[in-house]
Each structure stands twice: as C-alpha cells, then as structure tokens.
C-alpha cells in the first residue's frame, strides 16, 4: 500500500506503508544509530515524534523479547529507507512491521531519509503527517505537542528487588528507559519507581537512600510546576539525573534551557569530561539543552561538554551530592563507555548515612 509523508515545510514523500494504517502526526526527528532500532522504537523519550532512521537498512535482525525499553512504544511513526520484511537472527521473534502493526504505529519505507535529515538540520523544528490518503496532503496543519510526560510516566509506585541488600533508590519516572532500572538492580539496589508528580512528603515516607531523575520526552519547562517539589527532594538525598532529569535539575537550581536546532539523537556522540580530559562515546536522545552561560549564576558546575558543539553534557552541585548528565550512560542502543556513572552513584548512596543535606 502506498503511503505519504507531508512536512510542515511543504515537502511530500511517497513510500510503501507498513504497520498501522491510521494517520499520525508528530515532530519529525532523525536518529543516526546504525543499530538499536528496537530500543529506539520503545524509548519513551520519543513520545509525540516521528523517527527517521538515517541508516539505510532497518529491521534486518528483527525484534526480540529482551531489548524493549518500555512496555509500549510512545513514538508516533517510523520513516526508513529500506525495511527488511524477513529478518534473519536466531532471536528474531517478529519483524519490525509486525510489531509496528501490533502497537498501532505506522511505518513508511522507500523514503529518501537523507533528504528528510537535511530538511530537519536546515529548518530545525519540523512536523509531519503520515497518511495513506493523498487527499489529506494539502490540508496538513502542524500541531506541536506539549506536556507529554504524564502520558509515559507510571501512575503509581512500583518496587523492584524488595529484598536487595544494597541501597534503596527512588527512581522518579518522566519516561524512564528499562536499562536505567536494570543498571540499578544489577548494582544491588532496591528500586521504587515513582510517578513524575511525586511529592517531597511521599519521598520522605519512602525513606530512600538516593533519588534518580529519569530521562523523558518534551520541553523540560513543561514541568515547571513540579520544580519546587523536585528541588526539595534532591536537596535532601544523593541524586543523579539523566537527560530530562539533568535538565530539570539545572532548571531547579536557576539555570535556563533552550531548544537545539535539530537535537542530538544517535549512539556515537563524543563527550569530554572537563575534569579529567577524557573523551567518551555516548548515546543521546534530546532536543533541549542547558544554556552554558546560565551555569555561572547557579550553584552547579560543568562536568561534561559535547565535543562537536560545546553544549552542556553534565553538571554537579558544588556542595550537595547531586550530579546529572545529558547523555545516556545506560546506552541501549549505544556504547557503554560511561556506564561507571551508575556505580559512582550507588557508592554515593551507600556511603551516605545522613539523610539531610539542606
């Protein structure tokens, strides 16, 4: 079946339609990873977005039951150059097209993904409509999606490894990837996943040894009403944040954030530790960053910087046990160069007997 993608910039692309036959709209973004399409598909940080894969062949090793990052994909649609319908891998239980149909996601194949990537890099904020009905191509009006975190966060607390002997970590869920939970559990932690709207009193009642702010989709400023509660929480517990969690920590301590021209999404982004000088390859998926000049008027200091565009990739509090990174040390898909940051956080939780730092 033929399908179409029309962009808010006016371009129209025609391809072959797979998956759900329903129309979908969303922000069009591109991911440069050569592998990991299953993890990308199931990453909640892509909520409200249509993902363009720059690698030409997608789906060749199929979909397995192990590598999902969430229970249900949150993205709106997928754009690929060449979709493999008959995957070849001993763990391939389903094809990408089958999984897309199961979860109600449309896939367009046979699209010039280089052209779409060039448009997004040139224009910045681009929205698209995927449809099988050519009559709808002239009537598309872009509708930016805001405040998407409530749709991907858990609704009530969920506890894992109840009998673990390690520290108890409260994982605040803004759209967390399963790999974050896995790394904490592998470190011997008991983990309680809490909704994004958690209060300070709820955290106190939980009595954790540390707090983790997860990744998630959208503009961090959409969560401004929550910053007061979050600040009170992180000021009283050892805290680590990733991606959206990093941006929220920066906002609550007086920094500012801004939208990147076209975002960082892929598994080969070089990041430099400004303290040691060491460079790491990292997995990234974000459209917003902390303004570097805003750090000067905050109690935070720079720890990591992006080698390519010098954007802020990590911060830490000057006096409190709070740190965060923009990239993904859990890295699925992607390199595990910075996976040691989980061990650093767990040791900090273990070493802290006093529960109050304010």
Q: Can you tell me which residue has the tokens 């858990």?
A: 154
- CB atoms < 10 A from the CB of 270, how many? 14
Sheet with 300-306: list strands edge to edge. 158-160, 190-195, 168-173, 210-213, 239-242, 322-325, 312-317, 300-306, 257-273, 279-290
Residue-wise DSSP of 218-261 = S-GGGGGGGHHHHHHHHTTS-EEEETHHHHHHHHHTT--EEEEE
Backbone angles phi and psi of 83, in degrees to 5: -90, 125
* Helix and strand numbers, DSSP H then E, in the chain: 8, 19
Q: Quick check: helix, strand or coil at residue 339?
A: coil
How many angstroms from the chain centroid is the CA of residue 270? 17
- CB atoms < 10 A from the CB of 66, how many? 9
Catalytic positions: 243, 328, 330
Q: What share of the chain is helix, strand, coil (3-state, %, to 5)?
A: 25, 30, 40
Kind plus residue range of the DSSP H or E element containing 342: helix 340-351
Q: 181, 216 in Cβ contact below 8 A?
A: no
Return the bridge partners of 245, or none.
Answer: none
Backbone angles phi and psi of 185, in degrees to 5: -65, -40
Euclidean distance between CA atoms 294 and 300, whole angstroms: 10
Q: 211, 233 in Cβ contact below 8 A?
A: yes
């Amino acid at each position: 079946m033929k399908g179409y993608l029309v962009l808010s910039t006016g371009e129209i692309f025609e391809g072959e339609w797979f998956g759900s036959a329903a129309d979908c709209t969303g922000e069009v973004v591109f991911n440069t990873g050569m592998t990991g399409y299953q993890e990308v598909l199931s990453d909640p940080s892509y909520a409200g977005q249509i993902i363009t894969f720059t690698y030409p062949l997608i789906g060749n090793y199929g979909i397995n039951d192990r590598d999902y990052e969430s229970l249900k994909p949150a993205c709106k649609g997928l754009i690929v150059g060449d979709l493999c319908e008959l995957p070849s891998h001993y763990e391939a239980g389903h094809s990408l097209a089958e999984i897309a149909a199961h979860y109600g996601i449309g896939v367009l194949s046979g699209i010039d993904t280089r052209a779409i990537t060039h448009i997004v890099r040139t224009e910045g904020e681009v929205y698209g409509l995927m449809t099988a009905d050519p009559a709808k191509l002239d009537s598309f009006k872009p509708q930016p999606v805001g405040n998407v975190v409530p749709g991907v966060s858990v609704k009530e607390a969920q506890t894992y490894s109840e009998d673990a002997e390690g520290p108890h970590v409260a994982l605040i869920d803004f759209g967390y990837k399963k790999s974050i939970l896995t790394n904490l559990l592998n470190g011997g932690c008991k983990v309680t996943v809490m909704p994004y709207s958690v209060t300070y009193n709820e955290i106190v009642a939980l009595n954790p040894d540390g707090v983790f702010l997860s990744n998630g989709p959208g503009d961090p400023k959409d969560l401004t009403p929550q910053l007061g509660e979050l600040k009170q929480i992180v000021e009283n517990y050892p805290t680590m944040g990733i991606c959206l969690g990093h941006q929220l920590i920066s906002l609550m301590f007086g920094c500012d954030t801004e939208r990147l021209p076209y975002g960082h999404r892929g598994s080969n982004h070089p990041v430099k530790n400004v303290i040691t000088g060491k460079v790491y390859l990292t997995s990234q998926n974000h459209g917003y960053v902390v303004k570097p000049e805003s750090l000067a008027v905050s109690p935070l200091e720079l720890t990591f910087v992006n080698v390519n565009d010098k954007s802020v990739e990590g911060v830490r509090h000057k006096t409190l046990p709070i740190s965060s990174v923009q990239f993904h040390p859990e890295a699925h898909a992607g390199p595990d160069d910075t996976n040691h940051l989980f061990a650093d956080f767990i040791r900090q939780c273990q070493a802290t007997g006093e529960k109050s730092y304010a």
